[in-house]
Structure 1
Amino acid sequence: MNKLMQKRYLFILILTALLLLAACSNSNDGESDDADTSGDTDEAAEITVDSEVGEVTIPANPEKILASYNEDTLIALDETPVAKWAIGESVQDYLEEDLADVETIEWTLPLEQVLSIEPDLIILDHTLDNYEGSYEDYAAIAPTYVLSEEEVNDWKVRLQKFGEILGKEDEAEQALADYDEKVNQAKEELNDTLGDESVAMMWVVGGKYFLFEENRHTADMIYNELDVEAPEIVEELGKGEEAWNPISLEKLSEMDADHLIILGYEDDEGIEALKNSNVWNNTDVVQNDQVYYIEDESNWTNSGLVASEQTIDMLVDLFK
């Protein structure tokens, strides 16, 4: 073999070796990329969070969320539930602008109904005895998160937890910041219109009178965030217990509020009884024509960002 042929042969060998090395390298890189991508996908597909019943692994981006009676929090984070809370035909009316087209599910969460809507995430309150099934029953249908008592009782804590669960921490923080700004603005307006005049809220339903304690539902926001003055009759009630007990018509004769908001339908027998009571009609709030009637009580008797913001708007408009 002459020298020219030797050089050509050596060049071919070297080129072949380089091509083989490059192919192996690309193959290994591809395997590494595939493995990394797979790992990233697995990591993004699920998250593990602490719940009232311990750690639970849930989908990172659930599309069909069942969070009965916590729809307010979902709406605040721009999420639509797969089904909405109901007792028979009754729903949370104040949310209907967003949930009118969402099917209902009975408040006890019947297992057959839950199965039929095929949720990929279920969120339950800590009072599990209220549900038809057990935690294990729901967890067998879909990953199930159980809210703590604090998360149930404090809507701001609940909103932050939902933000964590749904990967919307920034949205939750922004919503709370916007809410604080709304509260501060409303506080200034109400200070101008009400000053130190007191306001009471009462729900009348089924002929019974439920006066809001200072910590009951949105009254907590009205008295403790907006700094609206509570009348003595409300202060005497103290902190509201879990069971909301009605007060008597006789007790209402002691109403000392400068303004009274009555929630309920005007044809309710309880409101009819008030209008026909000489003692009630002689109270200062009635004599001064400072009784306001609102038929839809739903945002006033719930707690959440949407409920609070709607109540703020109504309150400010009422006293303009």
Structure 2
Amino acid sequence: MYRNASGFGRALRNAAVVLLCAVVGGGLLAACGSGENKEPPPSPSGTQGAASTAPAAGANSPEPAGERKVKDELGHELVVPASPKRIFAPYLEDSLLKLGLKPVAQWSNGNQALEYLQEELKDVPKLDLSTGLPSPEVLLSYNPDLIILHTSSYAGNGVYENYSKIAPTYVFNNASGNIEKSLLALGELVGKQAEAEQALKAYRDKAETAKKKLEQAVGGKKVAILRFAPKGVSLMGANYLCGYVVHQDLGLGRSKLVEKENSANITLEILPELDADYIFVINQYGQGTERLREMTESPVWKSIPAVKQGHVYELNDMHWLGSGLIAYEKMIDDTLKLLVQ
């Protein structure tokens, strides 16, 4: 039917910090379960917000040596270490690795972490975020000196207020909305500006080289990226994540169904309108199997020209739903392998 294309020594803070946590009291611990669970964006190519006050130095007090005052994308002012060493930044592992850094814990859904990063993160403990962010006392056990939240939805329900009492907490509006912008902001935040700029240049060079090869091999052809999930099937547009890579960075055409949309719901009734020469299939974390079987076994699916020609490829869901340049580079490699003969 289709072809497969991819084959926390400090247990707690020192006594002073523990005392501080006790002083903070029940208000902090009462929010243990707070934090909205956000499914990993599927990330690429954002900012707005409400102001808050800095948890550390006063507005007119001098910054301690080795620290800097910054403002996050929601308007919070905070004082951060010049060179943070223990960073908690769930779902930003890809970008941290690009800057030569490792987090104190890595995002996971149950026991399933970002598979494509496991060689680099094999010694980093997994932290299950399937039911929300960790409680303050769990996070405190990792002794972070900087907390970074990749989306504003993570900061709600008192999470920001609680986390900022543990360590400086920086919040992105949506780090997955524009990977290049987010990487530069992250580089500046952690004192790795040069590394961020170098990584971006290498990525842009790689994308430009691949784009030229694709123009020669399949110039003018359209690619449809179908994401199968428990709630339905969506056609990825060109404004974020893998859709951005394929359609913006690599210049491949997209279906009229997403010419002006970030994504489109695809049903059997709409399927005949899917104009694409190639179809990329993503089974989201293996949770879209039922939807995938239902659609691909239908006569409507089998009647699509791309299907008849054998131009349907199932992709690695982990890096094709990834949010960072490492994932993007792997997407480029896959696309060249599939479409450039």
Distance 1:49 1:266, change over 3 A: closer
What secondary structure does 2:113 align onto? Answer: coil
CA shift, 1:192, in A, is: 1.7
Q: 1:249 to 1:79 in 2, by over 3 A?
A: same
Identity between Structure 1 and Structure 2 (%): 34
Q: Bigger CA drift: 296-305 or 75-84?
A: 296-305
Query: CA contact under 8 A between 1:128 and 1:134: conserved in structure 2?
Result: no
Quote the residue 1:139 is aligned against. 164
**1:132 offset after TM fit, Å?**
6.5
- The residue correspondences of 1:25-104 to structure 2 (distance < 5 A) are 42-43=64-65, 45-51=66-72, 52-104=74-126
Paired with 1:152 and 1:290, the residues of 2 have a C-alpha distance of 29
Shift in alpha-carbon separation, 1:249–1:139, aligned structure 2, 3 A: same
Give the secondary-structure state (helix, strand or coil) at the position aligned to 1:306: helix
Task: Please give the alpha-carbon distance, in whole angstroms, between the structure 2 residues aligned to 1:310 and 1:86.
Answer: 20
Q: Does 1:307 align with 2:322?
A: no
Shift of 1:281: 0.6
Aligned to 2:208: 184
The equivalent of 2:261 in structure 1 is 239
Normalising by structure 1, we get a TM-score of 0.78
- Call closer, same or farther: CA 1:88–1:256 in 2, change over 3 Å: same
Partners of 2:151 and 2:237 in 1: how far apart?
23
In structure 2, C-alpha distance between the alignment counterparts of 1:132 and 1:75, rounded to whole Å: 29
Are 1:282 and 2:303 matched, yes or no? Answer: yes
- Deviation at 1:230? 1.1
Q: Does 1:251 align with 2:275?
A: no
Instruction: Choose 169-178 or 213-222, whichever is displaced more.
Output: 213-222
SS of residue in 2 equivalent to 1:117: coil
CA deviations over 1:244-291 (Å, ceiling 9, x no partner): 774212211322211101122699222222332112111111111111
Q: Distance in 2 between matches of 1:123 and 1:266?
A: 28
Q: Provide TM-score, normalisation by structure 2.
A: 0.73
Amino acid at match of 1:221: V
Aligned pair partner of 2:318 in 254, 279, 298: 298
Distance 1:165 1:153 in 2: 18
Unpaired runs of at least 5, structure 1? 1-40
Structure 1 residues 207 and 59, CA gap change in structure 2 (3 angstroms)? closer
Q: What residue in structure 1 maps to residue 24 of structure 2?
A: none
After superposition, what is the alpha-carbon deviation per residue over 1:88-117, rounded to whole angstroms, capped at 9, x for unaligned?
A: 223222222322331122333222220111
**Moved segments of 4+, more than 3 Å:** 128-133
Return the offset for 1:206. Answer: 3.1
Instruction: Give the Cα–Cα distance (whole angstroms) in 2 for the partners of residues 129 and 287 of structure 1.
Output: 44
Q: Distance in 1 between matches of 2:282 and 2:157?
A: 31
Instruction: Find the residue that maps to 2:107 and give its secondary structure.
Output: strand
> How many equivalent residue pairs?
272
What is the RMSD of the two structures over their aligned residues, measured on CA atoms? 2.3
Q: Which sits farther off after the overlay, 56-65 or 259-268?
A: 259-268
Question: Which has the higher relative contact order, 1 or 2, with Cα contacts under 8 A spaced 6 or more apart?
Answer: 2
Check 1:300–1:267 CA distance in 2 against 1; reply closer, same or farther (3 A cut).
closer
Which of 168, 177, 181 is matched with 1:153 structurally? 177
